[in-house]
A and B are shown apart, each in its own frame.
Chain A
Amino acid sequence: MKTTAPKQVKVVNLDRQMCAVRFSPDGKLLVAGGQDASVRRLDATTADLKALSPLTGHSGWVTALAFHPDGKRLLSADSWGRLTCWPITEAAPKPAWTIEQAHDGWLRSGAISADGQTAATCGADGMVRLWSCADGKKIRQMKDHGCEVYSVAFHPDGKSLVSGDCKGVIKQWDIGTGKSVREIDARSMYAVMALQELGGARFMTFDAKGTALAVAGALGAAGKGTAGPCVMLFDWASGKTTHTVKLGAPLEGYVYDLSFHPDGFLMGVLSGQPGQGKLFFARPGEAAPFFQTPLPNPHGLAVQPGFKRLIVTATNAGSNGNGRPLGKNKEYPGNFSPLYVFDLP
């Protein structure tokens, strides 16, 4: 297998911190969900990622973004529980539909089925919900987790959904009935330290064939915190762990976003202490990533269809510090997100 090292070609700064970033199915539009409650639209066909008018109306943070397979609709969700469908190809999109309280509070993750019929969301209220992409009508809800649900992903076969919670429990659901099919155990990605509960299934994705499920986060160390970022890989047929890809030391935090490359390796970003983090490419079963490059606190990874370009949303350097660090004009500074653009050979 050839080594596929990306080359950084550009950095474009956005003026606020971003939580998530995604390419449209045609690769021409990039969207980023911000801590300023906006969805930024960027023209990915331009060299400097020309900013288009942002989508507004959300509250808190825009935490989840999912393009419809038809490329004409975008779902966005926020930390106050709102879910909105946008006709994203229009010049100035207005919501096609909005569910103000799709979840009670933080909507953590959203996904759309491969056939484009169904959207899935999960949230801090412990619920997993299915929605009609056509009109936003709620189809059903599943409430078996009993704790906060961090991530959802549709299986490529269109029949199953997985949801992962803050304790590392992965549940498989039958989309047609809403019945729980089985549990997959990623509890080693959870730890308790005093009142703190650490870890959980921060992000999940399947490979294109649906034979492997990847769960991103960090290993837990009971009583101590986390033991380093990792990706746990599960054989979908058996539900058993095939690999635990360890990606760093305890203070290097969590793997926040992840994608499978067609060649079988994982592309992901991890972020830990301020200033720390990296983009990594790792092959399951190998002791270390075959490519990694440091980036300051990346949280989102957008993979352009065709696998020719990656965009990572990170954080400006010097983002932290106790006390009162003031700017040049003695203003209180906020942080922002540089977008790192990488081309793949």
Chain B
Amino acid sequence: MNDNSCNSREHRLSRRQWLGGAVAAGAAGLGLATPAVAEQMKKKEKQVLFVWLDGGISQLESWDPKPNTQFGGPFRAIPTSVPGIHVSELWPKTAKLMHHLALVRSMCTKDNSHSAGVARIQRGDPKNRGVTYPYFGSAVAKILGPTESGLPPYVWVKPYNGGFVYQDAGFLGPKYGALALGDGKPPEGLIRPANLSAEDDAVRNDLRNLLDRRYAEKRNKEWTEANSFVFDMAAQMQKHKAIFDSSTVPAKDIERYGTNEFGRHMLVGRRLLEAGVRFVKVNSYHWDYHGDNFNGHRGAVPKVDRAFSAMIEDLVARGMLDNVLVVMMSEFGRTPRINGDSGRDHWPEAWSVIMGGGGLKHGIAVGKTNDTGTWVSGDEHDIGHLFHTWFAALGVNSKRVKYNNAGQPLPIAHDDCKAIKELLA
């Protein structure tokens, strides 16, 4: 991008992009899927919903139950809509949608610590080349860019505070960071105050752009681009402010997703996807049951089951699931061994991930663990395998596409891993 060019949104977005965004905004505002909207949705580009359960959800209390075995815990397994696939009884709603979803039960990753685990997994744990790799959301934002909506390509719905999380972007530069919506709320100041007219706002923005250009002349390009990018994306989000207007959400949807924090955030996530955000991450914290693991899962999982299943139902109903790659995962699994505090500790050796949607086969479970769930039986899959698989599902050839880090070509996923073919449609 030319440093001296006008960085305004209007110059960067085509009319077609504007119209695409307007259509999606209309759908979001209604919160409904009319046939016309559904048809429009079918034409949409690939998107991602990445549900991050920060910490480690237990594979034994979710996608790889081992009932009545030494480490199986107190819960039963239940059948799903796919004959032969059983999951923990804590997931009755998701179980009924398994024909839309896929499981990987052969995850074996390298890190059992929180301090490194979050970044290591979300960056795809590539070979060390002396650079900080981007999180998956930033990678998708860079490689696929915004959708026709022109909305920020990487939006993170999370508890607590929001802001612009440039750190996720690694060497790609801050522009590809995450726009974080604290508690699912719009960025502070997004909504133009009622006492500020559109004309005055435009004048104000012109002045800001002028000052930005002067400021940028003697400064690092990456940072000034990112600064400008944030303002442009904010301006674009103003066009979609209905996303945050809960009064337009049918009460039935609010009930279906649940009124708890995660349910509310997943509902915002759905509206962001409907509006055309390329990559939506929804975060839940505190999945770290070193103690009271079974009561902990029993209390928290039903809330996730409820919202996650509602999301899948809605993506199916809107004809969006074919284009939206859905992933729900943690940093690692939890130990088969049950400690004295009725907890399970960190276990990267044999765990599970649930995914579904665009580009993936559905109704399958790939990989398996032994009878007691302690180790993977057969091929192990690292996070690098998942990155290759996800990129393939998004139509990106991860063996050919490279990042360009100031002239240095870098693979977008671990060189030694490859896509899990059984998962790809």
Residues of chain A touching chain B, judged by Cβ–Cβ distance below 8 Å, are 16-17, 35-37, 59-61, 63, 79-80, 105-106, 124, 148, 166, 193-198, 200, 253-254, 271-277, 296-297, 299, 314-316, 319-325, 332-335
Contact = CB atoms under 8 A, between A and B. Distances in A.
Given A273-B290, A322-B335, A334-B71, A148 B298 contact: yes
Interface stretch (B39-47, B129-137, B343-351, B390-398): B343-351
A310 to B, nearest CB: 19
B259 interface: no
A332 B71 CA distance: 11
User: Interface of chain B, helix or strand or loop or mixed?
Assistant: loop
Given A105-B89, A322-B347, A60 B67 contact: yes
B300 to A, nearest CB: 4
Contacts of A198: 292, 299
Interface in B372-406: 372, 374-375
A333 B299 CA distance: 28
B70 A194 contact: no
B336 A320 contact: no
A334 B70 contact: yes
Interface residues of B, number: 46
B341 A124 contact: no
A274 B338 CA distance: 10
B192 interface: no
A17 B338 contact: yes
A194 B340 contact: no
Nearest to A295: B340
8 contacts: A35-B70, A36-B70, A63-B74, A272-B291, A319-B337, A319-B339, A320-B343, A321-B339
B284 interface: yes
A271 B292 CA distance: 10
B260 A195 contact: yes
Contacts of A148: 298
A286 B73 CA distance: 38
B74 A79 contact: yes
A273 B112 contact: no
A316 B338 CA distance: 11
B75 A79 contact: yes
Given A60-B67, A323-B346, A296 B340 contact: yes
A192 to B, nearest CB: 9
A195 B291 contact: no
Interface string B213-255: 0000000000000000000000000000000000000000000
A195 B55 CA distance: 13
Contacts of B349: 323-324
Contact of A60 (B72, B304, B346): B72
Contacts of B299: 166, 195-198
A333 to B, nearest CB: 7
A271 B342 CA distance: 9
B159 interface: yes
Given A271-B341, A315-B340, A335-B339, A195 B75 contact: no
A292 to B, nearest CB: 18
B337 A274 contact: no
A105 to B, nearest CB: 6
Q: Identify the interface centre among A63, A196, A277: most chain B CB within 10 Å of its CB.
A: A196
B50 to A, nearest CB: 18
Contacts of A315: 339-340
B145 interface: no
Contact of A320 (B262, B298, B339): B339
Interface string B297-326: 011100110000000000000000000000
Given A60-B75, A80-B76, A297-B340, A323 B290 contact: no
Contacts of B286: 193-196
A321 B346 CA distance: 8
Interface string B345-366: 1111100000000000000000
Contacts of B374: 332
B187 interface: no
Contacts of A320: 290, 337, 339-341, 343, 345
Given A79-B74, A253-B341, A271-B341, 16 more contacts: A16-B70, A35-B70, A63-B74, A194-B284, A194-B300, A196-B286, A196-B296, A196-B299, A196-B300, A274-B291, A316-B340, A319-B340, A322-B347, A323-B345, A323-B346, A335-B337
